[in-house]
Structure 1
């Protein structure tokens, strides 16, 4: 089968490798969509960080996979051949407290392995996965919908659940890449009457408006945000992973408001008393999501008739994975995906 590896230095290495075979409790998934995450670009494509959960081990890339099951191993009962599935992209130990709560993303065991980081991911014709890591993809959603849910949309939904967004809340989103776009779309689905987005890129601001992810999109100066939000939004979510964006989110959350930081990276420096304590803010650090919350999201997307695929601006076959990564790294459009024919 064809598989794309990420050797660093902004390169993609396409190789022919052996087809995987399922062992006990495992399934083989024929890939139909494998989208590219900003973490792939930041921590693997450009350079290998090689530390902690971001230690890339030279495996097949891609941690946002969706496809159809083509083979199952001994003891597999819940998932059958032919089913459409999304892969929760962390395979945890199943025994630590984090795993027992469904948050394999935070698994504390040395056995924790992320698809596309420490075990083969979705940038290949076939993916070997653990049955416990699979969620059934509703028929109403496309494979690309499922791939976007596997990380980006799941991350956005978790953050909004943490801050309990409702129809009472105006929402500020700093960083209008794919995760920021997901936050905006989901905030509206959850009832927010106003979503304001900031991003230094005019192209991304225009795209967020075009997709209906935000009601207003600005560069993010204090004057612009004060004009739109007065003393601040009830809820702010930073998706920039940038210290300046993170500080903007916190400074423009109103008193007694709630904020979530989901963008990876950045160094944040501030007057804690002035920014947080005296303004009585609640701030959440939110890392991806749980299996249960992701399952809930899939059901809600059907109920809301909301398709995450709308955030995808460019798709490529696996043979053009190098171009897919170049397009994603340019950060001028929406989300980028590697796709395969459905074959149905």
Structure 2
């Protein structure tokens, strides 16, 4: 099978490797869609961080997979050949407190392994997955929808739930890349009528406006300090963006920081304490929350794939990564017929 590896230095290495055989409790998926995440770009495509949960172990890339079950190993209890599934992209130990809550993303065991980071991910014709990591994809959602949920939409939904947004709120979304677009679209579906968007990229601002992910843009006529949002979410992963989310939030407001990879220098007393802000650090999502999101997307008839602006075949994975790295598009995906 064809498989894409990420050796760093903005390169993609496409190899032919054997199709894996499922072991106990495992299933083999024929990949149908696998999208590219900003974390892949930041921490693997451009460089290798090498330590902690982002340590890349020279495995097949891609942690946003969706596909069809084509074989099951011994001990598989619920999944069957033909099932359409989304892969929750972290395999946890299943025993620690975090795993028992469904937050395998925060698994504290050395056994923790993320698809595309410490175990083979979705940028290949087939993927070997643990049954426990699979979520059923509703019939009215596409495989590309599922791939978008596997990380990006799941991450955005978790943050919005932490903020407890509703129709009462004015929401500020800082960073209108794929996660920011997801946050705006989901917030609108959850009843928020006013979503203010901020991004330095004119292309991304245009995409957000076209999709209806935002109702207003931060610009010269509306500086971020004058937004006065009830709740804000930073999806930029930049210190300046995180600071903008804090400054754009009214007193007694709520802020969720989602974008990773930045350092934030701030006068804590002035920016947070004296303004009585509630600050959330929100890291991906739980399997419980992701299953809830899939059900709601199905009922809302909201297709996450609307944020995908470009798709490529696996043979063009290098082109897909180069385009995603440009920072001018929406979500970029790898798909199979």
For Structure 1 versus Structure 2, the TM-score category normalised by the shorter chain is over 0.9
How do residues 212-227 of structure 1 correspond to structure 2 at under 5 angstroms?
A: 212-219=212-219, 223-226=222-225
The separation in 2 between residues aligned to 1:218 and 1:281, in whole angstroms, is 21
Q: State the partner residue of 1:287.
A: 283
Contact 1:89 1:114 in 2 (8 A): yes
1:13-45 Cα distance to aligned partner (Å, 9 max, x none): 000000010001000000000000000000000
Q: State the partner residue of 2:327.
A: 331
The separation in 1 between residues aligned to 2:221 and 2:52, in whole angstroms, is 36
The separation in 1 between residues aligned to 2:314 and 2:233, in whole angstroms, is 33
The separation in 1 between residues aligned to 2:225 and 2:259, in whole angstroms, is 23
Q: State the partner residue of 1:93.
A: 93
Q: State the partner residue of 2:256.
A: 260
Q: CA deviation at 1:222?
A: 9.1
The separation in 1 between residues aligned to 2:300 and 2:320, in whole angstroms, is 30
Corresponding residue pairs, total: 337
The separation in 1 between residues aligned to 2:35 and 2:25, in whole angstroms, is 25
TM-score (norm 1): 0.97
Q: Say yes or no: does 1:247 pair with 2:243.
A: yes
1:300-319 Cα distance to aligned partner (Å, 9 max, x none): 00111100000000000000
Contact 2:225 2:247 in 1 (8 A): no
Dislocated runs of 4+, deviation >3 Å: none
The separation in 2 between residues aligned to 1:24 and 1:96, in whole angstroms, is 21
How do residues 1-344 of structure 1 correspond to structure 2 at under 5 angstroms?
A: 1-219=1-219, 223-226=222-225, 229=227, 232-341=228-337
1:78-136 Cα distance to aligned partner (Å, 9 max, x none): 11100000000000000000000000000000010000000000000000000000000
**Unpaired stretches in structure 1, ≥5 consecutive residues:** none
Q: CA deviation at 1:225?
A: 3.1
TM-score (norm 2): 0.99
